[in-house]
Each structure stands twice: as structure tokens, then as C-alpha cells.
């Protein structure tokens, strides 16, 4: 389980760099419906059989396309898997950002972002288990890709904190470091979500974390005098 967290949040410290630029990149879906169909089928196949046991032939049959169509878009099984992980994580990040942007206060934005992130990750738990299996074989070839995704996740927290500072809700001396700290906190919540009765306690747990966070980030008027 901890290896799953490690895969999903690879290279935290490097990912925290340059969040202002990468955090505002648009998450765009592929415009090729056949490529999308292959990836959609591959998610289910990888989740069912694991990385090692899955073959390109399994994915071809599940997608209902020709072998030539698959190899037009992907070099091999590892290439398909990397594209699957990238799409799954981009979908998760896009959902997180949409949840945050619907809210109007700093606390509500942080709450929505954390809940969306953990709930979305739980829905993708099967593919994350496959990521754990394939870590040694695939991840070294996609370090740059995963770092880009991580930067996007940290940037969402940074943008939310920056807006809160602008609105006077909170005080943050180092936006990048605080955003990274929030990402680490979410990792801890994710472990709780997977191992405990998260569905029953999800909002209570997140509210407790936010109480601690917001009390520490509120403007310190007395100290400023």
C-alpha cells in the first residue's frame, strides 16, 4: 500500500519546483477516439490481469480494434501502460480542479480539493495496484511524465493558497513549501481512506485536518502590531 502512494506521488520535492507555470497547463484529452478506446479497454485489462500477465493481444481483443491500429498509436505494452497512467492521473487532477473552482472560500476550496483527490484515487485503486506491480519496469522510463503530473497536483494547492492570501483569509510565507506539505498530508489521508471506514468518516476526518490547518494559517493580527 505504501508503495502505491510512492508511485502516485513520485519525486515530490522536484515536482514542487516551477508550480506557477505548470499548474496552469490545461488538461486536454486526446482527440483520437480509437486511441481513447484502446486506453479505456487497457485500463480494465490491466486492472484484471496485472501488468506482467497482460498482453497486447488482450488489449486488442478488449478494444475491438486491429493490431495495426494499436501499433499505430503505441510502441508496446509498456507504452500503452504509461499512456493509461497519464490519462488516469490527468482525469483525477482535472476533477480535483473542477471541484475546487466550484467553491468560493479558502476552506471550502481546500476541503473540496482534498475530498475529490482521495475519493478519485480510491476509484482508481485497481490501476494503482498495477502501478505498484510495474513500478520497477515502467516508472523509470516515465519519470518526467510523472513529475509533470505531480507538479500539476501541487500547483492546484498552491493556486488555492495564493487565492486565499489575496482574499485575506490566510497568511502563507512560502506558497510552494506549504502546497507540498498539503500534498504530503493528503497522502496520509489516502492511507486512512484505504485502510479504514473512510466512507463513514470522510468528512469528519477532512474537517479535523482543515481545523488544524486553518487555525495555523489565519492572519495573525496581534503579531503584526
Q: Which domains does the chain have, with CATH numbers?
A: 2-215 (1.10.357.10)
What is the SS3 assignment for 153-197? HHHHHHHHHHHHHHCCCCCCCCHHHHHHHHHHHHHHHHHHHHHCC
Locus of grid cell 481483443: 61
- What's the chain's average pLDDT? 78
pLDDT, position 121: 80
How far from each other are the two terminal CA atoms of the chain, in whole angstroms?
48
4's grid cell:
502505491
Burial class (CB in 10 A: 0-12, 13-18, 19+), 221: exposed
Instruction: Identify the weakest region by mean pLDDT among 24-28, 116-120, 211-215.
Output: 24-28
pLDDT digits (tens, 9 = 90+) for 16-33: 444 443 333 444 445 688
pLDDT, position 19: 44
Amino acid at each position: 500500500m505504501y508503495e502505491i502512494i510512492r508511485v502516485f506521488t513520485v519525486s515530490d520535492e522536484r515536482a514542487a519546483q516551477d508550480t506557477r507555470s505548470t499548474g496552469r497547463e490545461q488538461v486536454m484529452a486526446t482527440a483520437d477516439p480509437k486511441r481513447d478506446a484502446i486506453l479505456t479497454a487497457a485500463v480494465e485489462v490491466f486492472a484484471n490481469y496485472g501488468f506482467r500477465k497482460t498482453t497486447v493481444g488482450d488489449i486488442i481483443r478488449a478494444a475491438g480494434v486491429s493490431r495495426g491500429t494499436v501499433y499505430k498509436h503505441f510502441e508496446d505494452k509498456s507504452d500503452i501502460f504509461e499512456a493509461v497512467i497519464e490519462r488516469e492521473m490527468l482525469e483525477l487532477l482535472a476533477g480535483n480542479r473542477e471541484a475546487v473552482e466550484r467553491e468560493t472560500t479558502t476552506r471550502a476550496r481546500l476541503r473540496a480539493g482534498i475530498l475529490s483527490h482521495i475519493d478519485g484515487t480510491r476509484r482508481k485503486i485497481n490501476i494503482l495496484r498495477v502501478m505498484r506491480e510495474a513500478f520497477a519496469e515502467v516508472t523509470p522510463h516515465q519519470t518526467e511524465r510523472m513529475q509533470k503530473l505531480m507538479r500539476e497536483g501541487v500547483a492546484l494547492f498552491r493556486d488555492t493558497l495564493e487565492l486565499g492570501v489575496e482574499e485575506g483569509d490566510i497568511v502563507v510565507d512560502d506558497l510552494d513549501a506549504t502546497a507540498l506539505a498539503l500534498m504530503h498530508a493528503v497522502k496520509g489521508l489516502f492511507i486512512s481512506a484505504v485502510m479504514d471506514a473512510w466512507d463513514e468518516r470522510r468528512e469528519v476526518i477532512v474537517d479535523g485536518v482543515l481545523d488544524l490547518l486553518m487555525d495555523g494559517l489565519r492572519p495573525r493580527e496581534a503579531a503584526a502590531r
